[in-house]
């Protein structure tokens, strides 16, 4: 794992007390799902879903991959999608870069493909897509709803084992404002901490 990202994780795991008890109950549902898959020797597929697949869902995809690696939980694949496709937001990308990620742009389109590295040979691919895109799992996955709009507008997600609402405030409201960087960093840290909390509770075989 890249040193700056590991340092961020080391710091965040010391502050789990900042997560409310109500929130921990919600996150516990995801821990239980992951534990069931481990106990059954099955692959763990997590699909983070938001309306535009541009901010919160991508941060979930990336930080869940990091958290699994940090706690050495094997056989985990993370994905993201939306109810519509747009593009991975530049401010969310910048928040990840500030956290220590190395991000390569793989093409030059309106919806670029990005390779997000959290280790020398550890990465995940990010681009905006619908939650049922061909690159996402079609069955045996957890649908993790990161925004209330997507949660309300996706009444049924075909193929998922479980649907868990872990909604987050949208930092888009601060785009172009003096608080932009602070709010994106705050969101990235919240999602990172909660992903780390989920995987910290998992018992590997």
Dig out the tokens for 127 from the structure: 């681009």
Angstrom distance (rounded) from CA 171 to CA 145: 16
In which residue ranges of the chain is pLDDT below 50? none
pTM of the model: 0.95
Phi first, then psi, for residue 116 (nearest 5°) are -105, 110
* DSSP codes of every residue in 32-87: HHHHHHHHTT--EEEEEEESSSSSHHHHHHHHHHHHHHHTT--SEEEEEEESS---
| Digit-coded pLDDT (tens) for 66-105 | 999 999 999 999 999 998 999 999 999 999 999 999 999 9
The domain locations on the chain are 3-200
DSSP type of residue 141: E
Written out in words, the top-level CATH class of the domain with range 3-200 is alpha beta
């Amino acid at each position: 794992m890249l040193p700056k990202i590991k340092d961020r994780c080391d710091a965040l795991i010391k502050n789990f007390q900042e997560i409310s008890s109500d929130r921990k109950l919600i996150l516990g549902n995801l821990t239980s799902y992951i534990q069931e898959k481990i106990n059954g020797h099955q692959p763990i597929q997590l699909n983070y879903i938001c309306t535009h697949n541009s901010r919160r869902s991508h941060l979930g995809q990336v930080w869940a991959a990091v958290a699994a690696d940090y706690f050495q939980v094997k056989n985990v694949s993370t994905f993201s999608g939306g109810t519509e496709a747009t593009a991975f937001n530049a401010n969310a990308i910048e928040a990840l870069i500030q956290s220590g990620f190395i991000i390569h742009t793989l093409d030059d389109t309106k919806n670029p493909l990005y390779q997000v590295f959290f280790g020398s040979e550890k990465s995940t691919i990010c681009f905006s897509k619908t939650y049922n895109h061909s690159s996402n799992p079609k069955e045996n996955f957890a649908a993790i709803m990161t925004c209330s709009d997507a949660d309300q507008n996706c009444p049924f997600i075909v193929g998922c084992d479980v649907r868990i609402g872990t909604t987050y405030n949208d930092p888009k409201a601060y785009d172009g404002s003096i608080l932009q960087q602070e709010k994106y960093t705050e969101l990235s840290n919240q999602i990172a901490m909660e992903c780390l909390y989920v995987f910290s509770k998992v018992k590997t075989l």
